[in-house]
Amino acid sequence: MKVLSFGTLRDGGTLSIQTDEGLFTVDNRIVTTTAGKVYNGYPKNDKSNIVEDKQVLLDLTEAVKEYSSLNYSYFMFALTNR
């Protein structure tokens, strides 16, 4: 997995991570019950697309590390505080 870009959404704090394997988002919205959870795509109301696969989370973490050490601490904070 390789990170292509990072971004934020206008919903109050969701972080987006575009990879060569698709879009992942980290839920940091102002009012949420799933703060810090990683989603495959944009968070759905029914929470059906929360990433539970530990290998995917590990691969994403490693891809973030490789992408940029400058942005690493900011995005890792969101990924590790689930």
End-to-end, the C-alpha distance of the chain in Å comes to: 21
Domain limits for position 34? 3-80
HSE value, Cβ hemisphere, 13 Å, CA-based, for 16: 14
Residue type, 51: V
Instruction: Examine the pLDDT at 67 and tell me if it is beyond 70.
Output: yes
Instruction: Examine the pLDDT at 10 and tell me if it is beyond 70.
Output: yes
| Cβ within 8 Å of residue 35, ≥6 positions away | 27, 28, 29, 81, 82
Report d(CA 48, CA 35) in Å as an integer: 15
Strand locations in 1-82 (E) = 3-8, 15-19, 22-26, 38-40
Count of structural domains, the chain? 1
pTM of the model: 0.78
Residue 81: its pLDDT value, please?
A: 60
Sign of the CA dihedral running 69, 76, 54, 17: negative
pLDDT, one tens digit per residue, over 13-51 is 899 999 999 999 999 888 888 888 999 999 888 999 999
